[in-house]
Amino acid sequence: MFLLEFWASTTVWRTVSCLAFVLLGMLTFNSWRTVFALLAQFHRSALSHCLPENAHNGIVEHVFIYGNHIWYNPASQNITFFNTMASPTSLQASHSSSHSALPPTQRTELRRYGGINALIAACNSDDRFKLLEDDAVRSGNLENPIHPVFSSLALDKTSNYIQAMRFASHLLTHESLLIFFIPLLYGRQLTTYMDGVERTYLSDPLANVSNQQQQEYLDGVREALHCLGHSTRIEFVPPLHRVYARTKRTSTKPAHTTKCCSRFQRMWSPCIEIVDYFKTYYEKGYSNASRCEQFRHDFLFAITLVHEIIHAFGVLQRGNLYEPYIRADDPNAEWGWAWENFMFGCIINPLQRSLPGTHLLMRKIWADDQAAKAAGGKEYYDVPMAWIAQWFREETWHIVAERGPAAIAPPTTHFKIQSSERLGSWIISSDLYDVKYDLLALHNLWKARGDNPSPTLPNKAYTPPVATSPPLPAVRSRLSRLLWRFQSTEKLQKSNVKIPVRERRRVMTCTGCGQFLPNMGQRTNSSTQQLTQDPQGLLISDEAMAECTYLCLCGPSCHTTARSRSGTPSSNASSKRSHDSDGAEDRSYKRRKTSI
């Protein structure tokens, strides 16, 4: 009886234990399902900002987590996440076999290098986007004289420099382009607050002036540029660390005459240093280069010169190297980049800086580094040869002279590369599906290569040296994955950051203090002038109008009477003049080779 009861109790206990284990297993299974669901939700949220705008409702529901791979694979859009630490064989089995049919030379040319240079080579495989050569571009036909601002630049007796110097001279000749220099020469330094931080910027001298006064300003800029020519030293120097050129302040007094620009100080002069890599290529490689190779080198040399001329202009005007913001809402206080944005609508970046000549050009939007990081990372866009070549044609400059630089739009983008530190990924977007398979081939070759150096590349069309990008371990530790997505050509033109205004708007400022008033408007009738500010508006007295044509809110020091319609004083921060302070002589402005 005792044995029977023991057996029964043991059976019950075993049954209860089995049921408990079953329940525990079910709970554990559900827990693992919950964990996987949370991981999937995490990846959806982390990558959702990379998805096309019209695809959020569909693509995020097709997230599959398998090992180290995440595949977005709906019918209409295709977003693929490659982990460079994953097995290349597993990735190869998961994709179409079309990439495995790549020519051996094409696969070889992608073998060796990490970083953005290899990504660009993969995207532009076989030069599909005409970034290197384009037989359709016409030869240059510039015939304009060379600007005297470059008179101190010592060039050899050959004609190799002529095309670049004529292009650079065009950039400093037309009135539609000289407008950029007016606030640099005649603007007053003011201060305001942006996001609670004090910011020094320049007033806009063109805000309230007649056409006659604007022409006088332009004449003054021309005179100043001529004066800059005999007051600035331009010289070639040995290679500098990660820069193509820089501008320094020297203690040499400018060689001014009594006829020189009265706005320039007479104690300090600028010196522009350009790496002699430009000169070496002009003397040894330029003559044998293709038309497109010459265009790229001339383009980079010319805009590098003018970029530094902008900095030298400021040094000669202020006597120091501390540049204020040109516009209060500019991304940063860098006059050279401000000019590039004004001229081209973007910042031009050279790639493959260790190669002779100028191998390839990319562009990016002028943006604050922190703003770009918050938007997901900097984006780099392709620059085709057709866009570069047009600047060496006289018909292009006829358009610029008549309609301004904004009449020439930035180049159409067919792929862009984003460096996302948040995701630890390179994000590549393109309007061509073939780019995906070339990126997959690059990924597999990176993995197959491991950390061992590869042999010399046989393809002469793409032979970058080892120093062009970080070694593989550095690339992996910083950006270890590739994310590819298809986007239409229209969507590719959109930037993840705000694009700065290219040309200065004709806005109104206070003639008493110069404060920037973007919302002001003026209406005139037969007897009186009344100013309104949308949407609230402002009223002023006749005495205030007599003193100041446009109303600002800087207080009684500028206006005798000013009140809002609501009767309450405005909370706008007041503007005041800011005095220059001498900068250290060893500080210099530098045009970097690349910010990548």
Whose CA is closest to 472, among 497, 498, 446?
446
Using 50, 70 and 90 to split pLDDT, how confident is the model at 27? Answer: low
Using 50, 70 and 90 to split pLDDT, how confident is the model at 447? Answer: confident
Q: For position 70, what pLDDT does the model report?
A: 35
Q: For position 9, what pLDDT does the model report?
A: 52
Window from 50-54, 358-362, 561-565 with minimum mean pLDDT = 561-565
Rounded CA separation 365/51 (Å): 20
518's tokens: 């973007």
Window from 48-57, 275-284, 409-418, 445-454 with minimum mean pLDDT = 48-57
Q: Is 75 helix (H, G, I), strand (E, B) or coil?
A: coil
Q: For position 115, what pLDDT does the model report?
A: 78
Report the range out of 22-31, 469-478, 514-523 with the highest average pLDDT: 22-31
In the block, residue with structure tokens 């044998």: 288
Q: For position 67, what pLDDT does the model report?
A: 26
Checking if the pLDDT of 183 tops 80, the result is yes
Using 50, 70 and 90 to split pLDDT, how confident is the model at 19? Answer: confident
Checking if the pLDDT of 147 tops 80, the result is yes
Checking if the pLDDT of 467 tops 70, the result is no
Window from 20-24, 142-146, 189-193, 361-365 with minimum mean pLDDT = 20-24
Q: Are strands 481-486 and 425-430 parallel, antiparallel or unpaired?
A: parallel
68 vs 228, higher pLDDT: 228
Beta-carbon contacts of 446 under 8 Å, excluding residues fewer than 6 positions away, are 84, 114, 118, 472
Q: For position 267, what pLDDT does the model report?
A: 86
Checking if the pLDDT of 215 tops 60, the result is yes
Window from 44-53, 102-111, 509-518, 580-589 with minimum mean pLDDT = 102-111
320 vs 257, higher pLDDT: 320
> What's the whole-number average pLDDT of the chain?
72
Q: What is the pLDDT of residues 42-95, one digit of tens each?
A: 554 444 444 444 333 322 222 222 223 333 333 334 445 544 433 333 333 233
Rounded CA separation 351/117 (Å): 7
Q: For position 591, what pLDDT does the model report?
A: 57
Whose CA is closest to 119, among 544, 367, 494, 442?
442
Instruction: Over range 357-372, report the average pLDDT.
Output: 93
- The full DSSP string for 124-177 is TGGGTT-SS--TTPPPP---PPPPGGGTT----SSSTTHHHHHHHHHTTT-HHH
Q: For position 241, what pLDDT does the model report?
A: 75
Checking if the pLDDT of 137 tops 90, the result is yes
Q: For position 356, what pLDDT does the model report?
A: 80
CA 160 to centroid of chain Cα atoms: 30
Q: For position 11, what pLDDT does the model report?
A: 61
User: Is there a cis peptide before residue 254, judged by omega within 30 degrees of 0?
Assistant: no
Q: For position 51, what pLDDT does the model report?
A: 42
Tell me the backbone φ, ψ of residue 450, rounded to 5 degrees.
65, -140
Q: For position 446, what pLDDT does the model report?
A: 80
Q: For position 464, what pLDDT does the model report?
A: 33
Q: Return the C-alpha torsion angle 230, 235, 240, 242, nearest 10.
A: 60
User: Would you tell me how many other CB atoms lie within 10 Å of the CB of residue 500?
Assistant: 18
Checking if the pLDDT of 575 tops 50, the result is no
CA distance readout (Å), 23 to 27, 29, 30, 40, 245: 6, 10, 10, 25, 71
> What would you report as the CA-atom Rg of the chain, rounded to the nearest whole angstrom?
31
Report the range out of 51-55, 237-241, 471-475, 482-486 with the highest average pLDDT: 482-486
544 vs 234, higher pLDDT: 234
Whose CA is closest to 71, among 40, 36, 33?
40
Instruction: Over range 341-362, report the average pLDDT.
Output: 89
Q: Are 428 and 483 in contact (CB under 8 A)?
A: yes
Using 50, 70 and 90 to split pLDDT, how confident is the model at 272? Answer: very high
Whose CA is closest to 190, among 488, 478, 509, 460?
509
Instruction: Over range 193-210, report the average pLDDT.
Output: 91
Using 50, 70 and 90 to split pLDDT, how confident is the model at 351? Answer: confident
Q: Are 435 and 489 in contact (CB under 8 A)?
A: no
User: Would you tell me how many other CB atoms lie within 10 Å of the CB of residue 97?
Assistant: 9
CA 314 to centroid of chain Cα atoms: 22
Q: For position 567, what pLDDT does the model report?
A: 33
pTM for this entry: 0.70
Checking if the pLDDT of 531 tops 80, the result is no
CA 440 to centroid of chain Cα atoms: 27
Checking if the pLDDT of 97 tops 60, the result is no
Beta strands in 4-102 (DSSP E): 63-66, 69-72, 79-83
In the block, residue with structure tokens 């067919």: 414
Rounded CA separation 577/199 (Å): 11
360, β-bridge pairs: 351
48 vs 269, higher pLDDT: 269
Q: Return the C-alpha torsion angle 85, 90, 94, 95, nearest 10.
A: 70
Determine what percent of the chain is predicted with pLDDT higher than 70: 60
Rounded CA separation 127/60 (Å): 33
Whose CA is closest to 415, among 400, 432, 402?
432
Determine what percent of the chain is predicted with pLDDT higher than 90: 46
Rounded CA separation 246/338 (Å): 16
Instruction: Over range 275-299, report the average pLDDT.
Output: 94
Q: For position 341, what pLDDT does the model report?
A: 97
Q: What is the pLDDT of residues 418-446, one digit of tens each?
A: 998 888 889 999 999 999 999 998 888 88
CA 25 to centroid of chain Cα atoms: 55
Using 50, 70 and 90 to split pLDDT, how confident is the model at 476? Answer: very low
